[in-house]
Amino acid sequence: MDEPVVSVLTPFYNTAEYLAQCIESVLAQSFRQFEYILVDNCSTDGSGDIAARYARLDSRIRLIRRNTLLTQVQNYNFALSEVSSSCRYIKVVQADDFIFPPCLELMIRVFEQSDSIGLVSSYWLKGSEVRGSRFPHAVNVLPGREMARLYLLTGLWVFGSPTAVMYRSSLLQRDKPFYDESNLHEDTDKCMEILERWDFGFSHQVLSFSRADNESISSVVRPYQPDALDRYIIARRYASTFMEPDEASALKRQSKRIYYRTLARQAIRFREPAFWRYHQNGLRTLGEAIDWGFLLSQITREGMWMAVNPGSTLRGVLRRWRTAANGDQRVIERSSPAPQ
Question: How do residues 190-234 score in pLDDT, each as one tens digit?
Answer: 999 999 999 999 999 999 999 877 555 455 677 898 889 999 999
Delimit the domains of the chain by residue range: 6-214, 220-333
Return all residues near 126 (Cβ < 8 A) that are at least 6 apart: 160, 210, 212
What's residue 339's pLDDT? 36
165, with CB counted inside 10 A (0-12, 13-18, 19+), is buried
What's residue 324's pLDDT? 45
CB 99 within 8 A of CB 207: yes
What's residue 335's pLDDT? 35
DSSP letter (8 states) at residue 228: H
What's residue 325's pLDDT? 46
CB 210 within 8 A of CB 98: no
Say how far apart CA 43 and CA 58 lie, in whole Å. Answer: 21
Sign of CA dihedral 284, 290, 291, 295: positive
- Rounded mean pLDDT of the chain? 88
Return all residues near 256 (Cβ < 8 A) that are at least 6 apart: 232, 294
Return all residues near 282 (Cβ < 8 A) that are at least 6 apart: 184, 229, 233
3-state secondary structure labels for all residues of 170-193: HHHHHCCCCCCCCCCCHHHHHHHH
Question: How do residues 26-52 score in pLDDT, each as one tens digit?
Answer: 999 999 999 999 999 999 999 999 999
The dotted CATH code for 6-214 is: 3.90.550.10
What's residue 311's pLDDT? 58
DSSP letters of 32-98?
Answer: --EEEEEEE-S-SSSHHHHHHHHHHH-TTEEEEE-SS---HHHHHHHHHTT--TT-SEEEE--TT-E
Say how far apart CA 55 and CA 38 lie, in whole Å. Answer: 9
The H or E element that residue 155 is part of is none
What's residue 307's pLDDT? 77
Q: Which residues of the chain have pLDDT under 70?
A: 1, 214-220, 309-340
